[in-house]
Structure 1
Amino acid sequence: MFSLDPWSFPKSLRPDPLKLEFDLEQRLDALLQLHIQVPDQAYTAPILGTSRSGHGVVIDSEGHILTIGYLVTEAQQIWCRKRDGSVVQADVIAYDQPTGFGLLKSFSDLECGYIPMGKASDLSKHDKVYMLGHGGIHQCLKTRIAEVKPFAGSWEYLLEQALFIQPAHPEWSGSPLLNVKGELVGIGSLLTQELKQGQTQQSNMVVPTDLLAPMLNNLIKQGHSGLPPRPWLGLYLEEHDQQLVVQHASPQGPAEEAGILPEDLLVSVAGQRVQDLANFYRHVWSIGQAGVEIPLQIARGAELMTINIRSINRSERLIKPTTH
C-alpha cells in the first residue's frame, strides 16, 4: 500500500537541522504519507488512476489535513501513514476546484502536532525554502523560489500567483513547502519543464497557502468555499503560436455535447479575442457562474463558426465524498 523506498537526496541538497530556525523533526511528525483508493467508475479514474499516493500535512490541532486535491477527488478510501508507521483513515471534507486544495479529516486523533501557516506573499525570487518528504530528513529538499507568476493548466485551472521552486522534488504531490521559519507556505502540485538557453529546467509548481486562509472556515464547516461555482466547459486546450488549440473535450462534457472537436482553434469568447489560456479562463469566468451559456468562436479548417456551450458545475460529474 505504501512505498517505503529508502532513496535519499545528496547531503548538499538536504537542510542542515543545526542551521535551521525551526525544529525539523517536529515538522516531519506532522507530515503524512497518503494512499488513496478511487472507484473504477469515477469520472477522474481514466486520467488520474484509481490508486493514488502523495503527501498530506496536518495544519491544526483539530486534525485537519491539507493536500493537493487531485489526489483525493472522488476518493473512496484514504489511508494516512504517520511517521511512527501507524496508519489512520481519513475523509475528504472539501476539494476546492479553483485553488486545487483538498482538505481531509482523520477518523481518530493524530497526536502528531501540526505545521503553522506562514505567508507565501512574503516570499520573493531566490528566497530559500524547504520541501518535505515522508522519508525523513533524507527526503527533504533545500530549494529556492525560482519564480512567482501566473500558472494556467489545460484543464480549466488558473492560479494568478503560483510558486515555482528549483531544484525540484521528485515526490511533490501534496508535499508541504516551508519558509525559513518552518511555516507552511505552499502545497506541491506539479512538476513542470521549461526550455531555457537550450536546456530543460525542471521546477515544482506549488499552490500558495495564502489562498486557503480566507476560505478555511467555510471548507471545514460547509465543504466548499462559499463562492459561486465557476462555469466548466470540459475543454482541454494547449497554446501554440499564440493560438489556442483543442486537445480534446471531456467525454459527455458540455464542450463535447456542443460539438467542439479536437484541433478546433479557439478564436474568441463572447466577442473577446483570446490567444492564451489565462485570458481565456478569465473571460469565461467573467460571464457568470456555472450554468451560464458561453459563446465561443472557433475556426475549423477554413470555416469560422460560433458554438454556444451550456456550462455546468464541474463537481456535478464527480463522485461525492462520503464521511464516517
Structure 2
Amino acid sequence: MSLRKGLVIGILAVVLSCISAFFGAIGGGLFVLNQTSKNNSSTEPILDTQIPTASILNFSQTDIQTSITQAVEKVSPAVVTVVGTIPGQMTFFGKAPDETVSGSGVIISKEGHIVTNYHVVEGTSDIYVILSNGEQVKANLINADIYADLAVLKAEGQMPAVAIFGDSDRLNPGETVIAIGSPLGEFRNTVTVGVISATGRVLDTGKGYAMEDLIQTDAAINQGNSGGPLVNLNGEIVGINTLIVRGGMGTTTVAEGLGFAIPSNTVRLISEQIITRGYFARPYLGITWQGINPTIARRYQLPVEWGAYVTSVEPGSPADRGGIKRGDIIVQIGDLEINQQRSYLNALFAQQPGDTVTIKIYRQRKIFELNVTLGTSR
C-alpha cells in the first residue's frame, strides 16, 4: 500500500469516528430529555422546594371614621356665614360707602333661629346668611345681649340642620374640641381642632365690664370665626367662639393659640330668653356711673380704691326709690365687692331682676347700706 492511500484511509477513519460521536451525543441527549419529561409528568414531586411566584397585592377601600370627622359631619351643616351691611356715614366729603362685615353663626332651631356674636352684627342694617350648601337667605336680628356679646337672628326658609347644646359645665382642660366657622368670610365651614386650655377665664373688655367664665382653647380661631360653634366630640355645642388674644397691652410679644368662647350654658340661657321674650332680662339699677381705680382715687382723694361713682340717678328708677344719690360711691352689691377682679356691672349682673339686694355705699366718707329692689333691663 502506498503512502498516499494510507493517509486517505486514516482521514476517512477520523471523519467517521467524529460523525459517530456526534450522532451518539444527540441520541443520548434525546433519551435523557425523554426520561426527564416522563418523571416530571409524575404526581410525585422531585424536590421539596417550590419555585417562588410573583406576589399578588389585594387592595380594599376602607371608610376611615373618627370621632372628629363624625362630630364635624353632625354639626357642619348647621354652621352658617353671617354677612351684614353697615350703612356709610355722612362726612364732610359726602356719604361714605357702605361697609360689608361678616362672621359665623350656628342654627339652633328648625324655625331658623341662629346664634352669633353681637359684634358681628353690631350697627348693621341688612343681614343675610350663607347656608352650608351655599344658599343665601335673608335674616333679621331679634335681639342681642351686648355684655355677653351674643345675638339671635331669625333666618327665612328651610334650615338644612340644627345643632344641639352640650353642657359646658362638664368641660375639662385637655379635652378635644373643634372650631367651625368662616375665617375671613371666605373659607366657609373651615374646621380646626384643639383642646380646652382652661375654663373660667375673665377678660376685661375695656368698656367698664369684664367677660366672665370664658372657655380658653388653642383651636385656631381667626377673624370671621366669631360667632361660630366650639364643638365637643359628641357633636354638641359647648361654646360660641368670640375673640382671640394676640398679645398683652403695652407689649410687642405676640401670642398664638389664645382663643376664647362663651360657654354653651350661658349661650342657651340668653338665646332661649331672647327667642321666647324677645329680649334677655338683666338687672337694672338706673344710674350713670364712673369707675374708680387706685389712680383716680389718689387724684381725687377718694376714700376707696375701687368702686362706682354715681354721676346721675334716673328719676323713678330702682336706685332712686332705694335712696341712692348723685355723688355716692357704690362699693358692694349683695355679697359681691367691687374690686380689681370685679367691676360694678359684673357685680350687678350677678344678681337677678326683681331681687331685693343690699347695696353698700360711701357717702361723705361714711358707709351706708341701702336695700334696693332691682328692676329689669331690656
Q: Which amino acid aligns with 1:181?
A: N
Q: Which amino acid aligns with 1:159?
A: M
The aligned residue for residue 211 of structure 1 is 266
Secondary structure, aligned partner of 1:210: helix
| Structure 2 unaligned spans of 5+ | 1-63, 91-97, 300-308, 313-327, 354-358, 366-375
Query: How much has 1:72 moved relative to structure 2?
Result: 1.6
The aligned residue for residue 72 of structure 1 is 121
Does residue 113 of the first structure (1) align with residue 161 of the second (2)? yes
TM-score normalised by structure 2 residue count: 0.56
Residues 244, 275 of structure 1: 8 Å contact kept: no
Secondary structure, aligned partner of 2:75: helix
CA separation in 1, counterparts of 2:259 and 2:281? 29
Query: How much has 1:215 moved relative to structure 2?
Result: 4.1
Residues 208, 343 of structure 2: 8 Å contact kept: no
1:1-324 equivalence runs, <5 A: 18-20=65-67, 22-40=70-88, 50-110=99-159, 112-134=160-182, 135=187, 139-151=190-202, 152-171=204-223, 172-193=225-246, 200-202=254-256, 203-229=258-284, 233=288, 269-271=329-331, 275-276=339-340, 278-283=342-347
Query: How much has 1:147 moved relative to structure 2?
Result: 1.4
CA separation in 2, counterparts of 1:223 and 1:161? 25
Query: How much has 1:128 moved relative to structure 2?
Result: 0.8
As a proportion of its length, which structure holds more helix?
A: 2
Q: Which amino acid aligns with 2:114?
A: I
Could you report, residue by residue, the CA deviation over 1:51-85 in whole angstroms, capped at 9, with x for unpaired residues? 32100100121211010111123431101011222
Residues 112, 158 of structure 2: 8 Å contact kept: yes
Query: How much has 1:222 moved relative to structure 2?
Result: 2.1
The aligned residue for residue 249 of structure 1 is none
Question: Between Structure 1 and Structure 2, how many residues are aligned?
Answer: 259
CA separation in 1, counterparts of 2:262 and 2:85? 24
Could you report, residue by residue, the CA deviation over 1:112-145 in whole angstroms, capped at 9, with x for unpaired residues? 10111101111011111000123356x2110111
Residues 143, 167 of structure 1: 8 Å contact kept: yes
Query: How much has 1:275 moved relative to structure 2?
Result: 5.0
Q: Percent identity?
A: 19
TM-score normalised by structure 1 residue count: 0.64
CA separation in 1, counterparts of 2:298 and 2:76? 43
Residues 230, 285 of structure 1: 8 Å contact kept: no
Residues 78, 89 of structure 1: 8 Å contact kept: yes
Secondary structure, aligned partner of 2:207: coil
Could you report, residue by residue, the CA deviation over 1:266-316 in whole angstroms, capped at 9, with x for unpaired residues? xx9425685525244345658998xxxx9999xxxxxx9xxxxxxxx997x
Q: Are residues 220 and 275 of structure 1, via their aligned partners in 2, closer, same or farther at CA, if it must alter by over 3 Å? A: closer
Residues 108, 163 of structure 2: 8 Å contact kept: yes
Q: Are residues 100 and 271 of structure 1, via their aligned partners in 2, closer, same or farther at CA, if it must alter by over 3 Å? A: closer
CA separation in 1, counterparts of 2:147 and 2:125? 22
Larger Rg: 2
Secondary structure, aligned partner of 1:18: coil
Residues 115, 271 of structure 2: 8 Å contact kept: no
